[in-house]
Every structure is written in C-alpha cells, then in structure tokens.
Chains A and B, each alone.
Chain A
Amino acid sequence: MDEGRPIFRQITDQIESSIIDGSLAEETRAPSTNELAAFHRINPATAAKGINQLAADGILYKRRGIGMFVSAGAQAKIRARRRERFAHEYVYPLVIEARKLGLSAEEIKDMIEHWEDQP
C-alpha cells in the first residue's frame, strides 16, 4: 500500500478500477474483508471500511450469507464519476506544465492526436 493516502481509499480505488476494466464484472462476488486484509496485509477493520464505503456508494451490495456483490450499473456509475474528476486530476496539471514550457493549446492538441505515432 502507498504511504500517505488512507488505505481504505486505496482499497476502494482498486476495486473500482477492476470494475471499470471489467476484471470484476457486475453481479459477481467482490473480495471479502478477510481476503483483502490477507492479500494487502492490512488490518481487517480498514478493509471493512473500504467495502462499506463502496456499499454506501451503491457500487457493492450485500447478498445475505454469501458476501458483497458488484451492483448492476456500477461500471457506468464509476466511469461517470471519474470523468468528472478527469479535468481536475489530469488536464489541469498538464496545462500548468505546458505553460511552463511555453507550449500552445494547438501544440498540445496536436500531441494528443498524434502521441501514438511517436516512436
């Protein structure tokens, strides 16, 4: 786990990322608190906090006696939320750095369009 960031938030981010990339499909079972604790070597209470946060957000839901499952529509929900954060987390720092280097908006656009062509 990274230092400095709350562990439960790293847990929620990781599970959300697996839902977005499809490796954790909707209506399948999510890792249990104890599985997360053992795998990441973290306190079970911390893992539970992450799971509860996802349940409160409607990303996971509980099936009694079986465990937590990924809600239908979770993928779209997470994607929408991450899109909202995209400008703030990625575009803004990009613009700041570009300004420092004297790059124009046109040049940046050109780079984005052609970055895959670069060696």
Chain B
Amino acid sequence: MNSVVALSNVTKRYGDVTALDGVSFAVRENTITGLLGRNGAGKSTLMRLLTGQDLAGSGRTEIFGARPYENEAVLSQVSFIKENQRYPDNFKVRHVLRAARTLYPNWDQDFADSLMEDFRLPLNRRMNRLSRGMFSAVGIVLGLASRAPLTLFDEPYLGLDAVARQLFYDRLLADYAENPRTVVLSTHLIDEVSDLIEHVLLIDGGRMLLDQDAETLREQAVTVTGPTAAVDEFTAGRDELHREQMGGFARVTVRSTGDSTERTRAHSHGVELEPVSLQQLVVHTTTRNTSSKESSR
C-alpha cells in the first residue's frame, strides 16, 4: 500500500531542546492514524514539519513523495487543523468558510453547511467573539469539509463538550467511509478515539515508542491479578510493563503470549486476566520509557 507520509531519521532541535530525535515512520494511504503522546512529546513539531511550516534539522520528510516545505502542489492536498489557529482580526465565520472554499480543491459546500448546522455555528459572528468550543468547531468543519487527501487534526477539540466531540467522531467516520482519505489525529483523549483509529503512533521525548496497528496493540498486553506468588509464577520470564502491589495481592501488566490457552492456564494458576485498554497501554509504555531513561542517567 502507498505511503502518504514518510519520515526517515528526522531530527529537529530548537536551541538546545531536541524536539524530534531520529524519528522514522510511514502513514499508509486511506487510514486513520492516532498520533498519541504527552504534552511536549513532539506531536505538534511533527505536524509542523508535515505541513511545511518548519524545516527538519536533518532527515527526510516526504508527503505524497515530495518535500512539503514551500511546495504548493503538495500543500494544496493537505488540510491542517490546530487548536491555536489564528485568523485576521475582523474575520467572521462566513469569511473563514469563503476562504476555505478557494483554498481547498475538494471543498464540499453542502457538507460544510450541514456541519455548520450540526455544530450550531453562527455565520455572522466574528471569530474572536466565539466561545472556545465554537472556535474549535469551526476548525472541525474546515478539516472535514475540505476533504483533503491528507487531513491533520492537532488536538482539534479544546473546549468542545462531549456531545460535540461525539458529533465530530460520527461525522468523521461516516464521511471517511464515503470518501476515504488519510487522516492523522493527535489527541490526549485516547479512550474516545481508540475504536476509530486503525494505526497508532506513540511519541515521547521526541522519539517514536510505538508504531503499530491498533488491533494488534489491543491484544498485546494483559493484566494479571491474584496472590503475588501465583501472579509471579504465571508471569515469570515475561516482559513486565507495570506492577501494582497491595499486601499479598499483585496486579501486573505483561506482554501477552497470544496463546489461546492462556485463560485456561490462568484459572489453574488461580489468577485472573483482564484486558488492557489502549489508553492503559499508552500510559504504561510512556511511564516505562520515562523511568528507564531516569535510571540510566
């Protein structure tokens, strides 16, 4: 399958801060990818490189097989929605929509109109008079109705309530099913998007920690609970992601063996198995990365 985005060994420094440290990955065409990571992990830097707003210090950055920086042919195919988007001071909502119509070749006005109604956005309100949630909703309308072959959402929903976020997920999925395109969504709300995304990129401290299929990740780890001795015996020799202890009782998250008899073996060991959510897996993986770095210092 074709790659829409391809980064190879990309490093970006701001002064003595290394924002991206030898990052390589590819995004397959017509997939929804979740770009996950803590604040300051490097997500926004990555997005800026992908959209040609910044140049990498070293390494290759390719979008649709070409370098995005100052490349109009490539950038016209990219829609980038970020939380701190700036608009000219006197712009009203309808001015933003009119600009978007000329900017994006695949712009769908009918779709934009129906989204404006869904999110109850006032056309004649000035952008700087919108509530934080409405401001975010305008970005979401632009991102969806632009139908760009590559759409990047960088934390698009600051201030949006749960109803509006669900609306965003629903419209995104429905429109994506009808008009397949490549979507990269960076978010903290992992639980909310875990069923939407097909591929997971987890970045921490400027490095890629996970680059994997969401479905594969789901069965990659398992939490084992029970008497400590039994848990230790059951998890012996396996890669341990996380451990909690209370008296003689332990809860340990380990890599799954993928063995279908695991559950039966757990019963005979007297331990319980619980699934690990994508969110938990991301937290454990990130935490372990932080603690292993600290201990090597």
Tell me the bound Cα distance from A101 to B18 in angstroms.
Answer: 59
Cβ contacts under 8 Å, B174 to chain A: 38
**Is the Cβ of A6 less than 8 Å from the Cβ of B173?**
no
Chain A, residues 2-37, CB within 8 Å of chain B (1/0): the string is: 111111100000000000000000000000011001
Tell me what chain A mostly uses at the interface: helix, strand, loop, or mixed: helix
**Is the Cβ of B198 less than 8 Å from the Cβ of A43?**
yes
Is B3's beta carbon under 8 Å from chain A? no
**Is the Cβ of A41 less than 8 Å from the Cβ of B218?**
no
Cβ contacts under 8 Å, B268 to chain A: 96
**Is the Cβ of A96 less than 8 Å from the Cβ of B267?**
yes
Instruction: Give the number of chain B interface residues (Cβ < 8 Å).
Output: 30
Is A58's beta carbon under 8 Å from chain B? no
Is A1's beta carbon under 8 Å from chain B? yes
A44-52, A62-70, A71-79, A103-111: which lies at the interface: A44-52
Cβ contacts under 8 Å, A96 to chain B: 267-268
Is A40's beta carbon under 8 Å from chain B? yes
Counting contact residues on chain A (CB < 8 A from B), the size range is 20 to 34
Chain B, residues 263-277, CB within 8 Å of chain A (1/0): the string is: 110011010001111
Q: Point out which of B173, B263, B277 has the most chain A C-beta atoms below 10 A from its C-beta.
A: B173
Of all chain A residues, which has the CB nearest B174? A38
Q: How far is the CB of A10 from chain B (nearest CB, A)?
A: 10
Q: How far is the CB of A54 from chain B (nearest CB, A)?
A: 16
User: Given A4-B218, A92-B267, A96-B268: A41 and B196 within 8 A (CB)?
Assistant: yes
Binding site for B on A (CB under 8 A): 1-8, 33-34, 37-38, 40-46, 49, 88-89, 92-93, 96, 100
Binding site for A on B (CB under 8 A): 31-32, 169-170, 173-174, 176-178, 194-198, 214-215, 218-219, 222, 261, 263-264, 267-268, 270, 274-278
